[in-house]
Structure 1
Amino acid sequence: MTTPTRQINQTYPLIGFTKLTMQENNLRIEEKRFFQQTAVDIPYEELLPIGVGHHHFVPFRLLLIEIFLGFGCGKACYTLVTQPNQRESATWLLLILLGIFLGLGAYILQIWRHDFLITTGRGNIALFHSPRNKAALYDFANALRDHTILYMRRQYAVVDPLLPAEPQLARLEWLRSLGAINNTQFDQLKTRLLGRFFGAENILGDEYGLAPSAN
């Protein structure tokens, strides 16, 4: 089975990136955070059911610290202007507080985010959400769900009346529980597997397990 590769790549300045790639038999997730890089392949069998969600995180405590640092910078500036005899110490204090203020502010901007979640049977995949990439995120999530369902149907929604029926029925139940096939498709495959005996489970068979002829 050949499928066009679809991927989404998000780059975070000074931090790293997150890249999702739909491969033939699995979803590949690659992440880099500073100097640590990881990659994992998740089989499509473990992805369903696939959905979308949102998570909004606001670092309130860090924002309070940032506000106090801002007041400290203001106080140092006031001392620098109004008390010339303390200008040197006030200058050093201002530089230190300003450095902490800017560094903490940059960190807050990185973690204060609205995440777009792709929910799967294996866990949630978090991607940065903004109005500019909203359409691309939904398009990727829908494409991933459609491709996974198509893969599962081609690999597992196949029945053979000449083989034992019970494991095949269990496989069809599994596909239906994941949402890979609906009730109508399940009944069609079950009929194809059991033939004209579908719906006649209560009819007693002969010594070979065959149902009596209708004639």
Structure 2
Amino acid sequence: MKTRLTRSILSGALLIALMLLPAASRADTLQALGDLETPFLVLHLEKLDVTAGRLSESGFAFGLLDSVEVENRDSILEWLRGLPVASLSFGLDSNGIHGAVAFREDSERSHEILSILSEGEEANDDLIAELFGRPDDDGMREAFDVTVEQDEGLYWTETDAYGILYNLLDDWEFFASIESSPTGLMLLLGSSPDQVEKAREALAGELSLEIERSTDGDSFLLVVDDGD
């Protein structure tokens, strides 16, 4: 699983980095990163919704989707234009992956779903897909399927992407929890329950990761090796 997630994170970061501009502020998602063992990787993407919107209007997106004759071309572009994710942060080391996702302030439906889940309500597959803004049509349900189960107070979630979406997103499997931050509810993710707990403790101010950076850009990919 860690190999798949690492590949997804790196490929997504390289694609998005081509279109990112420096942002004005940093989201709370970075505060959900706990201590990591060297070697480790940190990915932080800010204003992801803005970037996705730009990508949906770019010649790159049109050319890519046209070149592989994607059946759900219009729905994919619609998803990018309305992506409710504002920012995300992930940390990866030999123990696993953990991080957080924050949603746009104006995405009322996503925040409504977060509120429902924060009360421990049972989640169905379509509700989680709706949280991330997947268009509600048969083609997109087939191209990006979500399975969710409750497991000891957490939401175990698996995504199955097909076609071009698999090439771009790969498949994900993670545990999730909804927690409060200074700016509202956010989604904490981890490759195991322990990894979700690490994110929860970091968000509460315990054992947060201290990041030393050499650039001022708000979005970044940081790789720290062990010198070997």
| TM-score normalised to structure 1 length | 0.25
Q: Which has the larger radius of gyration?
A: 1
Q: TM-score, normalised by structure 2?
A: 0.24
Return the structure number with greater relative CO, CA threshold 8 A, min gap 6: 2
